[in-house]
Structures are given as C-alpha cells and as structure tokens.
Amino acid sequence: MTETIIWTVSVLTVLGLLLSLVLFWVARKFRVEEDPRIDEIEKTLPGANCGGCGFAGCRAFADAAVKAGNLDANYCPVGGPETMKKVAAILGCEVKETAPRVAVVRCNGSCANRPKVNEYDGAASCKVKSSLYGGDTGCLFGCLGCGDCVAACQFGALSMDAATGLPVVDEGKCTACGKCVAACPKRIIELRDKGPRGMRMYVSCTNRDKGPVARKACAAACIGCGICAKTCRHDAITVTDNVAYIDFSKCKLCRECEAVCPTGAIHGVNFPKALDKEAVKQRIAERKVKEGDASTTVGMTEKKEAGNE
Amino acid sequence: MSKLTFSIGGIHPADSKLARESKIEVLPLPPKVYVSMFQHLGAQAQPVVAVGDKVKAGQIIAEPGGFISAYVHSPVSGTVKAIAPRKDLAGFGVMHIEIDVEGDEWAEGIDLSPELVTDIPEDREFILNRIKMCGVVGLGGATFPTHVKLNPPPGKTADCLIINGTECEPYLTSDFRIMLERTDEIVVGAAIMQKVLGGCKCVIGIEENKPEAISAVRASIKKLGFPGISVGVLKKRYPQGGEKQLIDAVMRRQVKSGGLPIDVGAVVQNVGTSLAVYEAVQKNKPLVTNVMTFTGNIVPSERQHNYLFRIGMPLSFIAEQAGGVPEGTVKLVSGGPMMGKAIANFDATTVKGTSAILCLGEETRRHPETPCISCCRCADACPMGLEPFLLKKLYAVGDTAALEQNAVQDCIECGCCQYSCPAYVPLLDNIRMAKAQVMGIIRARNAKK
Amino acid sequence: MLVSPSPHLHSPASTNGIMRDVIIALTPALLVSFFFYGWSQLIVLTVSCIGCVGFEWLIARYLMRRPAVFNGASALVTGILLAMNLPATSPWWMVLIGALVAIGVAKMSFGGLGQNIFNPAITGRVFLLVSFPVQMTNWTMPVYSFSAVDAISGATPLSVLKEGLKSGLSIDEILAANNMDMSMFMRDIGGSSGEVSVLALLIGFAYLLVRRVVKPWIPLSIALTIALIAGVFHLVNPAHFTGVGFNLLTGGIALGALFMATDYVTSPASVWGGVVYGIGIGLIVMMIRYFGSYPEGMSFAILIMNCFVPLINKAFHQKKYGRA
C-alpha cells in the first residue's frame, strides 16, 4: 500500500516537473513581442467587440491606435469621450472632442400612417424582404419591420414597437456603434448628434418619390414641398430627391420647420414643452411681414439712391 | 429505351397539370399595353420611339442597351402615350412604354400566315441576325438573349443541342400545349438552331408524364425528316428542366462550377424558344407573343386556360378574361410554384418570359419555422449536392469564406431544400442572400485580377 | 394577398410527422416488452414519457423562458427510448432522474431540439448505469404474463458470459449451462425492456425505411463491423470470444443501431460520414465487450462516437455537382 502511494506521488511529481519544463520552453520559444500599451488600452475599452469603430474588435482597435500613435482616425463610439480620454492618456496624445451621437429611425410609416397592401410571408429578415420586392406597403423607402436592426444591436437598445411596427431606440442604451445603420437595407437609420439635453430635430422620412406618390403611400411622408427649407433661418434644411434633410450641425432647434410641415414628417424630440404649432406659425408670419417691410424699404432706398445719381 | 434523369438530388412534387386539356386560346387586346424595358437578362433596353409616335405591331420600339440585351418590339398597333417608370410585379419602378391600342395592324415584312416553312436559310449569319433583330430570348425562365447563346465563343463547339420540353414545374402546361399544337414549328426551330451550331445532334427532352407530346414530337420528326434530331424521354423529377440537370440527364456530363454549358459542348434551349426562333427566322415575326397558363389548385376546371398573350398586357386584365381570380386565393404567382415570383402588383404586365399566373390557396401559406433537426432531407434533395442546412448556419454567423468553400455560389435556387424541410426552415430565403454576398465577393476578386 | 420568396409549395413532411413515424416504429417492440414484462414495463414507460415531456416543458417555460423551444413529440420519443433502455424493474424515481438527465442535461442545456451533441436517451441511461449499477444490471427475465409477481430476476446473457469467462469457463460451457440459443432473435433475452425482441425492432425499422425517415447505412455499417470483428476473433479463439450471431443479437445492439445511432441530430449528415460513424460504434462496442470490464458497450460506443460527429461532418460532404 505504502509502495503504491510512494510510486504514485513520485510519478506524478516527475511528470509535473517535465511538463512544466515543456510549457516553459514553449512559452519562451513562441513568445510574441507586443507593445504592452495594447493590453492596457484593450482593458480600458468597453470590450463589446461590436466593431462600431471600424475594427474587428477592441483588441484590433487598440493595436491600430498604438501603431498610429494618435487617435485622429480612431474613435470608440461605445466608450465615448470618457474612455477616449483614458486611452489618450495611455498613448500620450490629444483626443478630439466629438459630440455624442445616437441612432435615429427616419420613418413615420406606422400601421396607421402607411396601410398594408399585401402580406409578407417569407423569412423574417428585412434583407430577404427588400431583395424580394418593394415591400408590403405602398412606400418603397420605409421601414420593412422585420427587425434586422434589432437583431444587429448588441446593446439591446433597439426594440420593435408592436403598435407602430417600427423600431424604437432606447437612447440610454444606444452607443452609436452603427451596427443598425449597416443592417438596415433601406438605410433609414442615421447616426445624429444627440443634441443639448437630447433635444434634436430630424426629418423622419426618406421617401424619394414625388409628393403625391409619397403622400398616397404614407400619410406622414415627406412630400418634398420645401416649406421647411424656406422657413429655416439657419440654412440647415436641404431638399434633394423630393425629401428634406436637416443638417444637425446647423440646426438651432427653433422648431419652426416642425410647425410648418404639412404632413408632420419632421420630428423634434426631448423638448421640455410640447410644440404650440399655431403660436410658432404666427411668429413666423409676423417675422415675414417685418422682413417684407424691411426688404421693401431697402429696395426703395436703393431706388432712391439710384434715382439721385 | 431507358428513361433519362439527373444524378444528384431532386424531388417529386405532385404533378398538378390541371390545365393540360385546355387548348391554347388567343387573348383579346386590352385598351392599353405597357411594355417593360426589362424583358430579358442583361442591360435595360433603350426606347427608340417618342411619345406621340404611331407604332405598328412588330415594330422595334427599343434597342439593346448592351451586349447582353435584346430588342423590344411593339406588341400592338397604336400611339405611344408615355415612356415612364411603372411598377413591375415586385413593386419596383421599371421603365415602361405605354401604348394606346388602335386596331391591330402589323409592320411590313411579317408573315402571319399559318403555312409551315421548312426550308431553312443557308446563311448562318442571316439566321443569327434574324434571331437578334426579332428580340428572341430564352423562354425557359432566365430570358437570356438567344443569339448570344447560339453563338459560342471561338474555340468552343457544341456537341449537342438540348431542347427543353421537360416542364418539370408543377401546374405549368404552356410548353406541353405548344408541343401538341405547334409541334412541326418547334421541330423546324430546333433544326434551325442545330444548323446554327454547326450541325450537332439535337435531343428534345420531354418528361414521361407527357406521353401525348412525346408521340407527337416523334411523329413530326419522322414526317419532316431532319437528320440528327431525336426525343429523349426523361423521368418525372424536379428540377429536371434546370439547365445543368438536363445536361447531366441527357449527356451524362456535368458543367464545372462557374462554367458554362458550352464548356461541356452543350446548348440548352426551351421549346418555347424553339418556336420563337422558327417564327423569327422563317416568318420574320418578332417575339411579342408567348403562351402562358392560367391555373391553380383552387381554379375550377372550366376556368383553367392556356393563353396566347402579347407582351405588355396587364396581369389583372388576363385574370379578368379567365373569369377573375377565384375566391380563396391567398397568393398569386407569376410562373411555376417552385421558382415563380409572387405577384405584389397585379397591375404589372406580361413580359416575354411570362409562363403562368398561378392562384394558390391557403396551403401555400408558410408554417412557422421550427428548429433544424439535421435530418438532411435538404441535402438529399439538393440537385447541386450542396448542404443547405449548413449553408444557412454559415450565413447566420457570416462566415463567407466557409460559404464559398461549401459552394453556395453553385445554388440554382430551385427550392428543393425548402420544399423538403420538415422543420419549415426558410432555407432558400437565406441561401439566396448568402449566394448574393459570396457572388459579390467573387466578382470583386475577379475584377481585381 | 401573400407575397413571399419562392418556393410556394411545401412537401407534406413535418418534424412532428417524423416523430410520429418513429413512435409508430417503436410500437411493435413496446408491445412485445409489455407482453413479457407486464405492468412494471408500462409504469416505467409512463413515468419516463411524462418525465421527459414535463421536464422539457418546465425547462423551456421557466428556465430558458422561451416556450417556443418546447417540442412535445421529440420529448415523447426520448421518453419512449429511455424507457426501452431501462430494466422493467426500475423504480419510478430512478426513471425520473434518468428523464431529468436526458432532457435537462443532454438536450435543453445545449439549447433544445436540434442543438444537442449527445443522444438524450442514452445519456440518461448511462447516467443511471454509472450511478445505480445494482438496479441497472439486475434485469428481470422475461416471463409470459401481466402478473409481475412471478418475474424472475436474472442477469443478461452478456453479463452471464463475462462472469463465466472470468471464472475460466469456455463459451460453449456457459451457453450450455444457461440454455441460450437462437430464440434470442424472437424473445427471451434478459435485458433492458427494449432489447427483448430483435425481430420487433427490425419490423419497426423496416417501417421507417419504407417511410423514408431513415437511411439504412448507419445500422448496416455497425452490424457489418461487429460481424467482421466477432467473426475474426471467434475464428481465432472460439473458446474465449463469442460468435457473430450472439454478438449481433444480444445487448442493446439492435435497439442502439436501429433507433439510437440513427438519431438525426447526433449522427453525421453524409452517407459516408454515417458509415464511418457506424464503423466507429461497431469497433468500440466490440473492444468493450471483448476487452473492457463492462459486459455491454453500445451506449458508451454511441456516446463516444457522438463526440466525433462534428469532425466527421467536416471531413465528409455530399457529392457535389460539377466538382469531381
């Protein structure tokens, strides 16, 4: 009995020693020299490996950042400015301040606004659906409602609203990684600046059809009438291909466009007060009158001057 | 003689040739036709008429937009009303020429008499030019321009011309009807194509479930006495009419992945194309008519029809002529039930390749998907020897390299996998996406080279 | 109107239809085992089926919170197969533990139907075999009535042999002493309830073949491998190694090869993969029988080969068109 125990113990000890030597040798032989900062940065990063930065994962991002030596081309949208500051400290470089962004679903095609004209019966995938046909509503541009964006989101920030059939973004969870933007075959999701206290304006439609066609397909479509662009005093709105677009870097959140939009395609969100459309319209009208007076007076003075010469 | 068939996979869906006894009827003309500029595979045709122009039936109204493209002719006489995008059957906007129908006057030089012309022109170039100018495209489904297919690249010769009369899709009977009613013309058309290809042998492949067609074609070959044309009797099996499967069945040769049939010395043309070639070469009649079936399992037997239609007719107009879409129809399909397209827009119009309007009842509705149990019925059914269950899983994880290695690009989208899946997994829906993705990668790689 | 991608037709096949066919195929063997073992077999079957279906439902509903994962028909098949793999004398609590291991550990923890690596019923059986060796090897000898009182406890032919060989007897002596012959094909084998009649199992399997639910390649390759090995060894030393017929008819070979090794989820996809899988099972079974300490090795063989299925699937593929 004792002999057995002694043998067992000694055999196992010798085996353990031998194998540890082998492991030691392998570790030495196949060691890869790496910049220790890569590890450090990787630890700082959120570790979601979402690819929102454009790299295959957090380690690839760290690797690229260390190789570049700066953060000019690299930004982790998930970690945000806090994380980027820490990464910059490790690298010893500056980080550009970037405004936080959020995914915005630009479609008003709820079940009420956009009646169904047929029933889709294929695989529950927007990609399959969009490659098959124009969609189960009259609108060729709007949300298909199969939830590819929801499936693509790694942070649980997107969910389908059963009542409207449209995806809803949970702003608290959205990291603006852009996965949903890439997943949407109709390209209706856009990353926009979050805006001060989350307040922002956007055109919630991408229908490029001519006004009557768009209107027929969806009650809340942008019909490309251009009233918003004419009203805007900040040059923030452009109308191309029958659809308006608000440049969020120029928008001053005056909400006048939202008030004048005839179909309600323009949305303002997270404002503390509800929009009083009539009041704003009146304000615009008053201003127009004033401006009209000003321009006529200017015109007249010019004429006068011309007449004087 | 033993019956021929392909060697891998295949399924046996119910025949459902409900309209097989209905003779071909000529449809009346609608008040307006809308002629699509996408009647064929390849580049969009370019309109050569202007709004307000008077056109005659058979007159060229659009010319090819590229090497792989085809002429489009006016199917009716009348006035061009508009040239504008219009929704096709999938609901996408496609350029159409709208023509108001006025009378039925045909362009000059078109022989509309029913007499059979058996003397084949000697000049190969003349024949090819006629086929091209008459806008003939493959009517088996792919609508590939026929003159391109009949003109193999230098260094490649055809050993065998296969005329595809299998009509392996359930429900469809238009090919069967023309084989019965236009037999001689089809055989002459085959002889013309045989001549163009340098006098190779020619096999007209017909499935065993059409014995009347087999005997009619055999009798016609004997009567007309063209050498080197024979009938190949095929087993009833889907997708027998797939180009690659038919070559395997008739010639016992397999086309290499990414290759063309001509690489193994084969040219496959549909019987409908054969008829169109006859009309183009012998009668100078452009391809503006074709035969289609109006059928479906819930269509009463007296309303099953085979129609001679003109291109540009609204599908809804044809359904009206057939007595309307029957009650209980939940899905309308243009083409066969295995590879046809669901109709999202019933105001879409017929094109050269339209083969059927199919009214399907409640049983076409899909069942909810359940987990794959690896029964491998999809792999057994796949005529290309692929493993659809594996491809679907690889697509779900986005492994394009493995997808390519497992030959997703070889998929012919026949639908056998999805048909046979007991778990109702939408296999083909996913594989189609995977195939498109991988094909894109392959094309980009080839472009770099 | 509906719009969907093609195809617009579907074959009448369904997962539940396949499970129904398997249950029908198992019925003859079940009837035979009722006939031999009476009420006790019926109790084991009932407990096993209720256990499997119940655990599947409970786990899908409350643990995974995905009720859609529940598939009653497939759980029922697992329940029947588990019952056929247990002695008719098994106490109800043991059957219930087996069902929990089969469904909970081998199936649901991998994600439910279609995701499991190991055959659930065999995992349940092996768990019980290792945990309760006494109950699991104390087989009831088949008797011909529904009165369970006169059931005789006994050992399986294989364990009788193993004991005999250990004590230095030759095979002929053991067989003669225990009165065993070809009647094993029809009935009369001490063993788990599903093993009693190879004929009944074969009838069921023939039904599955006719219905095209399974292909014969896996059972064939298992049987041929066993026959080959047994034949060679028996020729070399007939006194120590049992013969072909004996090896094919005893133990769980028939049940295992026909109904367990052919399980879709845990067997290879391609024909040649299936053949390799079958040869592997045959080899392992015979190694365990001839050289191992267990008298029987079918369950272990199948479980071991289950591990290799992903590898086999990587190595063997369907023959592809135009890719010689």
pLDDT, tens only, B252-276: 999 998 899 999 999 999 999 999 9
Provide the 10 A C-beta neighbour count for residue B237: 22
- Contact assessment for residue C74 and residue C15, using Cβ atoms and an 8 Å cutoff: yes
Which residue, chain included where needed, has tokens 């059409």? B210
Give the pLDDT confidence of C150-197 residue by residue, as tens digits.
444 455 666 666 666 666 666 666 665 555 544 444 444 455 666 667
Six-digit token string for C227: 């026959």
Classify residue C14 by burial, with Cβ atoms within 10 Å: 0-12, 13-18, 19+: middle
Q: What pLDDT does A91 receive?
A: 81
Whole-number average pLDDT of chain B: 93
Q: Tell me if C8 and B170 make a contact (CB, 8 A cut-off).
A: no
Q: What pLDDT does C138 receive?
A: 64
- Contact assessment for residue B290 and residue B275, using Cβ atoms and an 8 Å cutoff: no
pLDDT, greater one: B104 or C197: B104
The strand ranges marked E within chain A are 101-105, 119-120, 158-161, 166-169, 189-193, 200-203, 237-240, 243-246, 266-269
Task: Tell which phi-psi region holds residue B196, choosing left (phi > 0), alpha (psi between -120 and 50) or beta.
Answer: alpha
Interface partners of chain B (CB pairs < 8 Å, 3 or more) are A, C
Q: Are residues C171 and C295 in the same domain?
A: yes
- DSSP result, B45-64: PEE---TT-EE-BT-EEEE-
Handedness of CA A283, A285, A288, A289 (dihedral sign): negative
Q: Are residues C294 and C217 in the same domain?
A: yes
Tell me, yes or no, whether C323 lies in a domain.
Answer: no
- Contact assessment for residue B383 and residue B416, using Cβ atoms and an 8 Å cutoff: yes
Q: Considering only CB atoms, which chain B residues are within 8 Å of C320?
A: 8, 257, 384-386, 407, 410
Q: Are residues C201 and C291 in the same domain?
A: yes
Mapped onto helix, strand or coil, the DSSP state of residue B231 is strand
Q: Are residues A144 and A167 in the same domain?
A: yes
Q: Are residues A175 and A200 in the same domain?
A: no
Distance CA A241, CA A224 (A): 8
Length of chain B: 449
For residue B162, give the DSSP letter.
E
Mapped onto helix, strand or coil, the DSSP state of residue B254 is coil
Q: Are residues A120 and A172 in the same domain?
A: yes
Mutation test of the interface with chain A: which of C1, C4, C10, choosing the one with the most A Cβ atoms within 10 A?
Answer: C4
Q: Are residues A49 and A64 in the same domain?
A: yes
Q: What is the CATH number of the domain that holds A269?
A: 3.30.70.20
Mutation test of the interface with chain A: which of C3, C6, C9, choosing the one with the most A Cβ atoms within 10 A?
Answer: C3
Distance CA C320, CA B390 (A): 14
Mutation test of the interface with chain A: which of B367, B429, B431, B435, choosing the one with the most A Cβ atoms within 10 A?
Answer: B429
Question: Domain range for residue A40?
Answer: 36-91
B34-38, C110-114, C242-246 — most confident range = B34-38
- Contact assessment for residue B179 and residue B165, using Cβ atoms and an 8 Å cutoff: yes
Give the pLDDT confidence of A192-242 residue by residue, as tens digits.
988 888 889 999 999 998 888 888 889 999 999 999 998 888 899 999 889
Tell me, yes or no, whether A225 lies in a domain.
Answer: yes
Tell me, yes or no, whether C10 lies in a domain.
Answer: no
Six-digit token string for A206: 């991408």
Taking residues B309-327, report their average pLDDT. 93
Q: Are residues C106 and C253 in the same domain?
A: no
Q: Are residues A210 and A262 in the same domain?
A: yes
- Contact assessment for residue A215 and residue A180, using Cβ atoms and an 8 Å cutoff: no
Under the banding of pLDDT at 50, 70 and 90, the label for residue C246 is confident
Taking residues B345-367, report their average pLDDT. 93
The answer, yes or no, to whether residue A298 has pLDDT greater than 60, is no
Handedness of CA B433, B434, B436, B440 (dihedral sign): positive
| Angle (CA) B327 B330 B331, round 5° | 120
Tell me, yes or no, whether C322 lies in a domain.
Answer: no
pLDDT, greater one: C208 or A277: C208
| DSSP H or E run through B425 | none
The answer, yes or no, to whether residue A305 has pLDDT greater than 60, is no
Tell me, yes or no, whether C118 lies in a domain.
Answer: yes
Give the pLDDT confidence of B394-429 residue by residue, as tens digits.
999 989 999 999 999 999 999 999 999 999 999 999
C2 CB near a chain A CB, below 8 Å? yes
Q: What pLDDT does C88 receive?
A: 81
How many domains does the structure of chain C reveal?
2
Q: Considering only CB atoms, which chain A residues are within 8 Å of C3?
A: 118-122, 132-133, 136
Q: What pLDDT does A304 receive?
A: 43
Interface partners of chain C (CB pairs < 8 Å, 3 or more) are A, B
The answer, yes or no, to whether residue C312 has pLDDT greater than 50, is yes
Q: What pLDDT does A83 receive?
A: 83
Tell me, yes or no, whether A179 lies in a domain.
Answer: yes
| Angle (CA) A78 A80 A82, round 5° | 135
How many domains does the structure of chain A reveal?
3
- Contact assessment for residue B255 and residue C318, using Cβ atoms and an 8 Å cutoff: no
Q: What pLDDT does C163 receive?
A: 64
Q: What is the CATH number of the domain that holds A47?
A: 1.10.15
- DSSP result, B167-221: --SSS--HHHHHHHHSHHHHHHHHHHHHHHTTS-EEEEEEETT-HHHHHHHHHHH
pTM score, whole prediction: 0.86
Q: Are residues A154 and A200 in the same domain?
A: no
Q: What pLDDT does C144 receive?
A: 46
Residue of chain B nearest A121, judged by CA positions: B366
Q: Are residues C219 and C283 in the same domain?
A: yes
For residue B261, give the DSSP letter.
G
Least confident of B13-22, B153-162, B238-247, C286-295: C286-295
Under the banding of pLDDT at 50, 70 and 90, the label for residue B57 is very high
**Structure-derived torsion over alpha carbons of residues C31, C35, C40, C45, reported in degrees to the nearest 10:** 0
Q: Are residues C123 and C211 in the same domain?
A: no
B319 CB near a chain C CB, below 8 Å? no
Provide the 10 A C-beta neighbour count for residue B244: 25
Six-digit token string for A169: 């973004």
Tell me, yes or no, whether C210 lies in a domain.
Answer: yes
Q: Are residues C164 and C110 in the same domain?
A: no
Q: What pLDDT does A190 receive?
A: 93
Q: Are residues C171 and C287 in the same domain?
A: yes
For residue B118, give the DSSP letter.
-
Q: Are residues C214 and C273 in the same domain?
A: yes
Tell me, yes or no, whether A25 lies in a domain.
Answer: no
Give the pLDDT confidence of A78-90 residue by residue, as tens digits.
877 788 888 888 8
Q: Are residues C88 and C183 in the same domain?
A: no
Please give the share of chain A, as a percent, with pLDDT higher than 90: 34
- Contact assessment for residue B309 and residue B27, using Cβ atoms and an 8 Å cutoff: yes
Q: Which of B343, B278, B273, B309 is nearest to B40 (CA)?
A: B273
Of B90, B345, B365, the CB nearest to A132: B90
B434 CB near a chain C CB, below 8 Å? no
Distance from CA of C111 to the nearest CA of A (A): 19
Give the pLDDT confidence of C4-60 residue by residue, as tens digits.
999 999 999 999 999 999 999 999 988 888 887 778 888 999 999 999 999 999 999
Taking residues A93-99, report their average pLDDT. 74
Under the banding of pLDDT at 50, 70 and 90, the label for residue C75 is very high
Q: Tell me if A118 and B429 make a contact (CB, 8 A cut-off).
A: no
Interface partners of chain A (CB pairs < 8 Å, 3 or more) are B, C
Which residue, chain included where needed, has tokens 């490790």? A90
Which residues numbered 147-176 in B keep a CB inside 8 Å of some CB on C?
Answer: 170
Alpha-carbon distances of B19 from B207, B274, B325, C65, rounded to whole Å: 17, 22, 15, 50
Q: What pLDDT does C151 receive?
A: 42
Q: What pLDDT does A66 receive?
A: 83
Orientation angle between helical segments C271-291 and C217-236, nearest 10 degrees: 30
Q: What pLDDT does C265 receive?
A: 92
Q: Considering only CB atoms, which chain B residues are within 8 Å of A133?
A: 90-92, 342, 344
Q: Are residues C111 and C71 in the same domain?
A: yes
Q: What pLDDT does C276 receive?
A: 96
Tell me, yes or no, whether A246 lies in a domain.
Answer: yes
Alpha-carbon distances of A218 from B19, B257, C1, rounded to whole Å: 41, 46, 20
Distance CA B136, CA B120 (A): 18
Look at strands B229-234 and B201-207 and give their pairing.
parallel
Q: What pLDDT does A309 receive?
A: 38
Which residue, chain included where needed, has tokens 């294929």? A122
Q: What pLDDT does C145 receive?
A: 43
Q: Tell me if B364 and C2 make a contact (CB, 8 A cut-off).
A: yes
Q: How many CB pairs under 8 A join B and C?
A: 150
Mutation test of the interface with chain C: which of A116, A117, A118, A121, choosing the one with the most C Cβ atoms within 10 A?
Answer: A121
Handedness of CA B163, B165, B168, B169 (dihedral sign): positive
- Contact assessment for residue A218 and residue A137, using Cβ atoms and an 8 Å cutoff: yes
Whole-number average pLDDT of chain C: 83
Question: Domain range for residue C35?
Answer: 15-136
Q: Which residues pair with B65 in a beta bridge?
A: none
Distance CA C210, CA B164 (A): 33
Q: Tell me if A122 and C1 make a contact (CB, 8 A cut-off).
A: no
Q: Are residues C167 and C94 in the same domain?
A: no
| Angle (CA) B118 B119 B120, round 5° | 105
ipTM of predicted assembly, 2 dp? 0.88
Under the banding of pLDDT at 50, 70 and 90, the label for residue A276 is confident
Residue of chain B nearest A138, judged by CA positions: B91
Of A117, A128, A133, the CB nearest to B90: A133
Under the banding of pLDDT at 50, 70 and 90, the label for residue A296 is low
Taking residues A156-160, report their average pLDDT. 92
Q: Are residues A255 and A278 in the same domain?
A: yes
